[in-house]
Amino acid sequence: MAQRVILAVEDMHRLASQPATDDAALAAAVARLSDLYTVDRQALAREQASREHLDAKCGYFLASDAPKVVLALEEAAARSPLFARLATLEHVRVVDLGAGVGATSCGFLAWLAARRAARGATTTPRVELIAVELGEPAARAFEQAARAAAAAAGIEVHVTVEARDFRGFRLPAADAILCQTALNELLPQDRADPVHRPDTVDMVARWAAHAPLVVIEPALKSTTRALMALRDALVASGVAHVVAPCLHQKPCPMRAKPDDWCHEARRIEPTPRVAAIDRIVGRRDGRALFAFLATAPGSADVTPSTGAPIPPTAIRIVTDPLGSRGKTERVVCRADGELRLMRLLDRESRPGNETFVSAERGLAATVNPMPANDRIGPEATVDRLPPCPDRA
């Protein structure tokens, strides 16, 4: 269902693009825009509003970034009833900050439609989207995309676009706040391991205190580590607690090593056009790369938004298998806030613990019994951490 919604937006853009942009031209624009984000960030603000880049955003990035929102929301909904309830509301108001051409809001609509379909919901919900976007051309494209997504999703949508800076924007009452790949544009570029400015941290703290929040950032080391530091600041201030991806509220253990950064690499089914452009630009392995943070207002001590406690045997697998001989080694972030290198010897691999080998990076699981020496034994079971029944 989610894929159908994203495809509908992609088709709408392809039909609306006059003259049609061929795949080679689109691929060249995608490659240039990717370079702006990764190696030439100083030029980003100047160039990203050009016609060519707008085509890349509408024709490629929208369909490749929307699934990241679906994944982040699905995980947040599995961990928190505050997120799960979004799919039960008949009227949902969502604020999309730095909304661009609509990938985030389209991802939200796709997630909502899929989740409601899975629950067998038959009514037509009304979604009020409030998009805040600095760039006027992107703001215009936003409405078109959101309407196409809503039509495919069977959702009634009301769109308001505020063509303005989100800094200083007075937040209306909202059921959720989303912000994808916009915060990093405020990140100072003056050091190798940049951190967000205090005014940015304060602004995000206000968002996090206001409503359930999802922030998604590029999976670059600099932008992800800045997000990890922001996460710690939010938790320490007590204005919000982490719903996902972390299974604990302790300081992020990955910050200790400057070369570590906690990001997702998730398998998704790309749309045919995204797959075609990926082939031309020679993009990696087709997995969606991103870092995210989902929070809910209030400290975890006083707000029962996490429902049933995370078991002490829970882990989050934060690397791919490390390629060790005769065993599988992966770094895991445990429910007690410790980062550990866990291993499973090939000869001790059994159907009950095989998930440790095959799980995709980012999976939350339980290990029973949890070994003191980090070696998963043949008798141990490794199972996907289930959503609580009230969050399914």
The nearer residue to ligand SAM, 181 or 328, going by C-beta atoms, is 181
Q: Is 207 in the site for ligand SAM (CB under 6 A)?
A: no
Least distance in Å: CB of 68 to ligand SAM?
8
The nearer residue to ligand SAM, 67 or 100, going by C-beta atoms, is 100
DSSP 283-326: -SSSEEEEEEEEEEES-TTT-GGG-SPPPTTEEEE-S-----TT
Q: How would you class 373 by CB atoms within 10 Å of its CB: exposed for 0-12, middle for 13-18, buried for 19 or more?
A: exposed
Helix, strand or coil for residue 329? strand
Q: Which of residues 162-181 bind ligand SAM (CB under 6 A)?
A: 165-167, 180-181
Least distance in Å: CB of 80 to ligand SAM?
22
Determine which residue in the list 36, 103, 159, 203 makes contact with ligand SAM, applying CB under 6 A.
103
Least distance in Å: CB of 203 to ligand SAM?
9
Q: Which of residues 182-201 bind ligand SAM (CB under 6 A)?
A: 182, 185
Q: Is 64 in the site for ligand SAM (CB under 6 A)?
A: no
What phi and psi values does residue 177 have, to the nearest 5 degrees? -120, 135
The nearer residue to ligand SAM, 107 or 387, going by C-beta atoms, is 107
The nearer residue to ligand SAM, 158 or 167, going by C-beta atoms, is 167
Q: Is 100 in the site for ligand SAM (CB under 6 A)?
A: yes
Least distance in Å: CB of 311 to ligand SAM?
34
Q: Is 315 in the site for ligand SAM (CB under 6 A)?
A: no
Hey, what are 94's tokens? Answer: 């969502």
Query: What sign does the CA torsion over 6, 7, 10, 15 have?
Result: negative
Q: Is 328 in the site for ligand SAM (CB under 6 A)?
A: no
CA–CA separation, 258 and 289 (whole Å): 19
The nearer residue to ligand SAM, 53 or 361, going by C-beta atoms, is 53
Determine which residue in the list 26, 29, 86, 99 makes contact with ligand SAM, applying CB under 6 A.
99
Q: What angle is formed at CA 296 by the lines to CA 218 and CA 146, rounded to 5 degrees? A: 55
Q: Is 214 in the site for ligand SAM (CB under 6 A)?
A: no
Sole window of 129-137, 246-254, 281-289, 383-391 interacting with ligand SAM (rule: CB under 6 A):
129-137
Q: Is 227 in the site for ligand SAM (CB under 6 A)?
A: no
Least distance in Å: CB of 375 to ligand SAM?
41
Total count of residues recorded for the chain: 392
Binding mask 275-294 for ligand SAM (x = CB under 6 A): --------------------
* Beta bridge partners of residue 337, listed in sequence order: none
Q: Is 59 in the site for ligand SAM (CB under 6 A)?
A: no
Least distance in Å: CB of 128 to ligand SAM?
18
Q: Is 223 in the site for ligand SAM (CB under 6 A)?
A: no
Sole window of 2-10, 131-139, 312-320, 321-329 interacting with ligand SAM (rule: CB under 6 A):
131-139
Sheet of strand 339-345: strand arrangement = 339-345, 327-334, 314-317, 364-368, 381-384
- Are 338 and 253 contacting, i.e. CB atoms less than 8 angstroms apart? yes
What phi and psi values does residue 301 have, to the nearest 5 degrees? -65, -35
Q: Give the single-character DSSP code of 375.
A: B
Instruction: Cite the beta strand spans of 205-269 per DSSP E.
Output: 213-217, 240-244, 264-267
Least distance in Å: CB of 50 to ligand SAM?
12
Half-sphere exposure (Cβ direction) of 299: Cα atoms closer than 13 Å: 9
The nearer residue to ligand SAM, 165 or 202, going by C-beta atoms, is 165
- The closest of 162, 169, 161 to 210, measured between CA atoms, is 169
- The closest of 103, 144, 151 to 127, measured between CA atoms, is 151
- Give the interface with ligand SAM as residue ranges (CB under 6 A): 65, 98-100, 103-104, 132-135, 138, 165-167, 180-182, 185
